[in-house]
Amino acid sequence: MSNLRLYTFPGNKNAWKAQIAAEYVGVKLDVPAFEMGKTNKSPQFLKLNPNGKVPTLQTPEGAVWESNAIARYVARLADKGLFGVTAFDAALVEQWIEFSTLNIDAPMSSWLYPLLGFMDYDKKKEEAAIVMVKKNLDILDEYLASHTYLVGNSVTLADIIGAANLYHGYTKLFDEAFRKDFPNVQRWFLTLVNQPAFKNVMGDVVLAKETMKYTPKKNDKAAPAAKESKPAAPKESKPEQPKKESKPAPAKEAAAADNGEEKPAPKPKDPLALLPPSKMIMDSWKRLYSNTPGAKFKEICVNGLWNGADVPNSPTNEHFEGFDPEGYSIWFCEYKYPEENTVNFIVMNKVGGFLQRIDYVRKHAFAVMSILKDDKGQFPIRGMWIFRGQEIPAIMQEECFDLPLYEWTKVDTNDAAVRERISALLCEEDKIDGLENVEVKVFK
């Protein structure tokens, strides 16, 4: 097929997924000159992809964006076995695509991006990301101990996307000591990147000699103690102490100044904790939801969301005060790409992984996510969320890469139709929006 134009900047490992697939299926992708921050902000580009992101593929039928979707499109242009041979093979290809994207690439990005200056650095988050990467590389390594490729006996799209997702790990993060723990993954990765189709796109892959480390910038921390010009106030217990124009820094601070050390920056406060107090307590709502018997769930829990209710079986006779529209907001969400959701257990893993990755907002959020089934054999994902405040929490917007995959709609909680839909989702009714309700996952 001609007239396929791939917009991307050079060296974009996400664009490589489609480019390598194109090598296998014998399709030419034109890659025009591209300047990030300029080309993607032009009106012409925004008509193709209103997100202003790359890669974006322009086809005779319209534009395709999101790297995995582009790679799938290209792989399907010719039957070269990139989805395996059988329907089960195709399911496994999708399974490993999801696994490498959600369970390896996502935490690895949380590890890498702060080192590249794309995100604020946080040592604890880095450590958590490394733990997650290692955990999932262990799973992959055990599997590859008895498999040359991820599916079948030849390269599939799962291998292509998996290798692209691991590229920055092997070239920037995984030093020799790290790699030794995952010998089968390394064997598989090197087998792939030395295939002609991979080399034509990636070039020669050079493994990292050392792990990239964080280098603080001068303005990353508070000013050094030695530069403090404001004298410390005298203690109230010693009013007789004469005032001085300046007071020497305490011994500990002076020593730090002598050593060129800087005071650690104060830990930022949770912005949601700074909101005005609310009559609604999220934990109280979660206890009402969890403790209400199924037989009386709609009567007590759903009605109680709006009007308040006593929490059943509460040892403290707890009373939930009801929803506070000033202190909280309710949102509907819907996965944008239901055509990708054709295998039930993969969709369940997708939703489960999403909820696991946002554990940091658990204190301020509650959700019911329903996996539905339509007459096309697809599994749409739809849900309702309660958030503290009037917006989706900032940290979730900044750090959750799943967020843009969903359409988010803030709802009017006084609307009767909205309340009826919330009731259906909370009660896990057999039909949601006229579709079969297959599985429900709760975030609480």
Instruction: Judge whether 264 lies within some domain.
Output: no
Instruction: Judge whether 370 lies within some domain.
Output: yes
CA angle 91, 93, 95 (to 5 degrees): 70
Q: Are residues 191 and 300 in the same domain?
A: no
How far is Cα of residue 132 from the mean position of the Cα atoms in its chain? 13
For tokens 């992959």, name the residue.
140
Is the Cβ–Cβ distance between 71 and 161 less than 8 Å?
A: yes
| Range(s) of the domain holding residue 363 | 282-443
Separation of alpha carbons 430 and 415, rounded Å: 23
Count of domains observed in the chain = 3
pLDDT of residue 328: 96
Separation of alpha carbons 408 and 403, rounded Å: 9
Q: Are residues 148 and 181 in the same domain?
A: yes
Count of Cβ atoms closer than 10 Å to residue 200 Cβ: 12
Q: Are residues 296 and 408 in the same domain?
A: yes
24-58 pLDDT, tens digit each: 999 999 999 988 888 888 989 999 988 888 999 99
Separation of alpha carbons 317 and 350, rounded Å: 38
Whichever domain contains 194, its CATH number is 1.20.1050.10
The more confidently predicted of residues 251 and 292 is 292
End of a domain among 145, 177, 202?
202
Count of Cβ atoms closer than 10 Å to residue 299 Cβ: 12
Task: Using alpha carbons, list the distances in angstroms from residue 273 to 41, 276, 278.
Answer: 36, 8, 11
Q: Are residues 186 and 290 in the same domain?
A: no
End of a domain among 202, 228, 245?
202
Q: Are residues 61 and 124 in the same domain?
A: no
167-220 pLDDT, tens digit each: 999 999 999 999 999 999 999 999 999 999 999 999 999 999 999 998 876 555
Q: Which of 3-7, 17-21, 226-230 has the lowest mean pLDDT?
A: 226-230
Whichever domain contains 49, its CATH number is 3.40.30.10
DSSP 145-166: TT-SSSSTTS--HHHHHHHHHH
Predicted structure pTM score: 0.52
Answer whether residue 407 shows pLDDT above 60.
yes
End of a domain among 143, 174, 202?
202
Q: Are residues 71 and 94 in the same domain?
A: no
For tokens 């300047």, name the residue.
35
Q: Are residues 420 and 343 in the same domain?
A: yes
Q: What is the mean pLDDT of residues 137-154?
A: 93
Whichever domain contains 323, its CATH number is 3.30.70.1010
Separation of alpha carbons 165 and 173, rounded Å: 13
